[in-house]
Structure 1
Amino acid sequence: MKKLINGVPDVVDESLDGFARAHGDIITVSHDPRFVARADAPVQGKVGLVSGGGSGHEPLHAGFVGRGMLDAAVPGEVFTSPTPMPIVEATKAVDGGAGVLHIVKNYTGDVLNFETAADLVGAEGITVRAVVTNDDVAVQDSLYTAGRRGVAGTVLVEKIAGAAAERGDDLDGVTAIAEKVNANVRSIGVALAAGTVPHAGEPGFDLADDEVEFGVGIHGEPGRERIKLEPADALTDRMMAAVLDDLPFSSGDSVLLFVNGMGGTPLSELYIVFRRAAQILDDRGITLSRSLVGSLVTSLEMQGASISVLKLDDELTDLWDAPVNTAALRWGV
């Protein structure tokens, strides 16, 4: 295993130390308990947004803390859910009196620990709602979930719900927007090679040189099938068919197309995938209205990519375009 680390037990905390030094104008970091919050938190009168999960998916979630997006993120150890107490303290730290929304990816540990935290802060008088993201069309159930997994579409939920909170929507309104985005986004991923979890010291799974995992999860969970490596266009065709036929998307729809890298994929390859995905939208009469390309929901250094498609309306488009100022997404400021 070759990694730019010092000791395995120190990976998350040392990474957060560097993150805090690099982005101290946007965020603050608490180590005990461990969470990242907006530098100006709590914002009085604004709904607070909190997300989190295992580390190793950076910039998700800490990279999306800031004005117009999340108020706090709670990172666990690599690929390990955070425990309830850091979630409790993060929720309390960003409560501005208007309630807090938890955005939770559909993994059993995340769901249970966020539910426990919500109960604990609720006993202290803080109103909490939760939206569980489940945009992955690859599998209905996996080793980690009951139902579909929450993957890259979570970024779109966080951005659009964050904009709704920033414009002053109440807790019910922000929750409804988050649920609307989650209901209208679909994602699928493909892996060419696995990442290596530091405490394991070896790749999470093995693929032959001519194999890919179609429908892989963001922790390296198995997907729909293991298939032979194909050219980028053929793989993109498979991914887009799985996504577009699931909602389903239809001619006349306006969409946001998000091509995400898993951590070890060059940006040039992501644009090759985006190019083909955009052609498919054109062929189906679907309008490519907004776009996002980059490695934003990673799986350490996994080679691969995911595609997310979100059906837009005027309100969701306006909220997507609204200003955001985070370490990983920034526009309109």
Structure 2
Amino acid sequence: MKKFINTAETMVAESLEGFVRAHEEFVVFGVDRKFIRRRHMVPGKVAIISGGGAGHEPMHIGFVGRGMLDAACVGHIFTSPTPSQIVSAIEEADTGAGCLLVVKNYDGDVMNFEMAVEMSSSRHKIETVIISDDIETARTGDGRGRRGVAGTLIIERLLGAAAERGMTLSELKGLGDGLAPRIRSMGVALTGVTVPHTQRTTFALGPSEMEVGVGIHGEPGHSREPFSNADNIVRHLSNTILNDIARTADKALLFVNGLGGTPPAELYLAYNAAHRFMVDHGLRIERSLVGTYATSLDMQGLSVTLAFLSDEEFALWDSPVATAALRWGC
């Protein structure tokens, strides 16, 4: 295994230190380096806090800053942050209006964030939004259900923008919960993930195979299919999403996300196919996002996310954001 690392054990800590040094205009380490927070906190604003295992960069650390997250907690590769990390982020990020925790629907994340809430609720007002935008793809029928994947970015962006405008904790909770049925994502991979600690790939594919419905921890999807051309692949993803999502309007945001090892040229090609499919099915794509934002280390793959948003939510999306990974209107 060839990686630009020193040791698997120090990879996350060294990467986080490099991230903070590279983006010190936006972020600093929190107490004892347990989390990353905005450099300039806003008194009296609800704090938006998220996090998860390393290996998904730029999610979540790249979304810390004005108009998005106030703090992000990072665990080891594909491992939830500890309750202690989350508690420390709550303590430091709460400037008087409480905290909204944005949690992806994985067992470890849900459990550790719930423990942190129990440990902090006597001192802080806290609400939680669970992200589950993934098409349900569990092959084993183990009850895992919908996972939080690339659609997490959209929810964190809208909640961060709404908090910046002064929305209360209960209002933000309502906004986050209301978005859930209107955002869906589905991914496909051409390779598994090379995990530094094990030096093995999470699954192996033959030269004419692809894995459909993958997660961002290198999990296999619901089926292994014959490899096809981009139009056929994207058409399958898009059709599955449209058949699953709650269609509340004709105006939508379309997001094509790289999973770590897919070049921009292929992502834009996939976006073109997805856009064409959605327009052919009567949708108006009002906003677009294409890039590598919610990754699974070096997985060669991509995901398609569709979000039906109201005019007010599009306005939130368009409002100023200044983070390492997203920046406009500033």
TM-score, normalising length: structure 2: 0.97
* Distance in 2, Cα, partners of 1:95 & 1:87: 12
Asked if the contact 2:117–2:126 (Cα under 8 Å) also holds between the matched residues in 1, the reply is yes
Native 8 Å contact 2:133 2:180 kept in 1: yes
Identity of aligned residues (%): 48
1:297 to 290, 294, 298: 294
Q: How does 1:103-142 map to 2 (within 5 A)?
A: 103-123=102-122, 125-139=123-137
**Pair 1:198–1:171, CA change in 2 (3 A):** same
C-alpha deviation, 1:92, in angstroms: 1.0
Does the residue aligned with 1:66 lie in a helix, a strand or coil?
coil
Q: Look up the match of 2:168.
A: 170
Q: Is the 8 A contact 2:139 2:221 kept in 1?
A: no
Change (3 A) 1:101 1:34: same
Gaps of 5+ in 1: none
Note the C-alpha offset of 1:147: 2.5
Matched residue type, 2:107:
T
Partner of 2:181: 183
Q: CA deviation at 1:180?
A: 2.1
CA distance in 2, matches of 1:54, 1:11: 13
Q: 2:240 aligns with which of 236, 239, 242?
A: 242
Map residues 273-288 of structure 1 onto 2, 5 A cutoff: 273-288=270-285
Quick check: 1:72–1:90 contact (8 Å CA) kept in 2? yes
Within 2, Cα distance between the matches of 1:294 and 1:144? 32
CA contact 2:139–2:222 (8 Å) conserved in 1:
no
CA RMSD, 1 decimal: 1.5
Match in the other structure for 2:74: 75
How far has the Cα of 1:11 moved from its partner? Answer: 0.6
1:317 positional shift: 0.4
Query: Displacement, 1:297?
Result: 0.2
Whole-Å separation in 2 of the counterparts to 1:238 and 1:112: 33
Q: 1:112 to 1:144 in 2, by over 3 A?
A: farther
Deviation at 1:181, TM superposition (A): 2.2
Q: Identify if the C-alpha distance between structure 1 residues 248 and 130 changes in structure 2 by more than 3 Å, giving closer, same or farther.
A: closer
Q: 2:155 touches 2:179 (CA, 8 Å); kept in 1?
A: yes
Deviation (angstroms), 1:135 = 0.5
Q: Deviations over 1:101-124 (max 9, x none)?
A: 00000000000000000111112x
Mapped to 2, the partners of 1:31 and 1:192 lie a distance apart of: 40
Q: Gapped runs of 5+ residues in structure 2?
A: none
1:194 positional shift: 1.3
Corresponding residue for 2:324?
327
Shift of 1:249: 3.3
Secondary structure, aligned partner of 1:193: coil
> How much has 1:146 moved relative to structure 2?
3.4
For the 8 Å contact 1:12–1:55, the answer to whether it is kept is yes
CA offset digits 1:277-328 (Å, max 9, x no partner): 1111111110000000000000001000000000011111000001100000
Comparing 51-60 with 191-200, greater Cα deviation is found at 191-200
Q: Do 2:131 and 2:180's aligned partners in 1 also have CA atoms closer than 8 Å?
A: yes
**TM-score of the aligned structures, taking structure 1 as reference length:** 0.96
